[in-house]
Amino acid sequence: MEKSKVLIIGGTGYLGKRLVKASLAEGHETYVLQRQDMGVDIEKLVEAVRLVDVVICAISGVHIRSHQILLQLKLVDAINEAGNVKRFLPSEFGTDPAKMENAMEPGRVTFDDKMVVRKAIEDAGIPFTYVSANCFAGYFLGGLCQPGSILPSMDHVVLLGDGNQKAIYVDEDDIAMYTIKTIDDPRTLNKTLYLRPPQNILSQREVVEVWEKLIGKQLRKSSISKEEFLANMKTQNYAEQVGLTHYYHVCYEGCLANFEIGEEGEEASQLYPEINYTSVHEYMKRYL
């Protein structure tokens, strides 16, 4: 079967550059538009879209960087006008927004905006796949799941609550490869692809234990209750509060792993067992 031609929006960004690399590695003719190109005349977007079969959008939905989710509505219009796209993968790549209808303010804005984009896609009848990649390893593992930390301590860790809620951590290169694998797969058409590598479904305590085994010592542990966490969160600026709300739902409520995948979804590591994904243990070795 001939490989699809792929357009990646935001192809020079944090995840986008990895998507470009994975797309090329899998033999797809690959085109790139930077995020700022989304502001051009819609006819220019339509011209770009008509060059390809698949469109993947990787613009940021993170408020501490730039929150651009609703820019995709213009892209939806361009795809609809072009009429040739076999599949659109919008910028999701995190928590499934369809599971977050009860999310707290202000963090729920991310999920609400993604659902607005989903509705536009589905109302237009555009074929889609939504990718729920859960926690980017680079955002969570280096700091042992502590907000604001990027390198693992050799001495002390603060547990969020009891530290026992399960989350799911995925190497960013693996996110990209699973995403590219799905674009020509009929099994994921008009479905959500959940990335749940079984070795990487761990609690914060289990992540800490992985690190302790690697360094050969026990860390001192303290904890912060959910009440303390929320009180501290309210002292931060808006963008920080959005991100911390997401941490709250992941680390205090276990929102990533507390549901079964239904008929509307597929699980990536089961569909693509040929991908030798990076385990949390292997990922953490880079910090030694």
* Contact criterion met (CB below 8 Å) for 7 and 31: yes
* Three-class DSSP labels, 150-170: CCCCCCEEEEECCCCCEEEEE
The answer to whether the CB of 99 falls within 8 A of the CB of 138 is: no
d(Cα 141, Cα 135) in Å, to the nearest integer?
9
Active site residue 114: yes
Q: Which of 21, 86, 114, 226 is catalytic?
A: 114
User: Is the Cα torsion angle 277, 282, 284, 288 positive or negative in sign?
Assistant: negative
- Dist CA 275 CA 199 (whole Å): 13
Give the span between the Cα atoms of 224 and 228, in whole angstroms: 6
How buried is 230 (Cβ within 10 angstroms: 0-12 exposed, 13-18 middle, 19+ buried)?
middle
Long-range contacts of 34-42 (CB under 8 A, 24+ apart): 34/10, 35/9, 35/10, 35/59, 35/60, 35/66, 35/68, 35/71, 37/9, 38/9, 38/68, 38/71, 38/72, 38/74, 38/75, 39/71, 42/74, 42/77, 42/78, 42/81
Among residues 168, 63, 69, the alpha carbon closest in space to that of 117 is found at 69
The residues annotated as belonging to the active site are 114
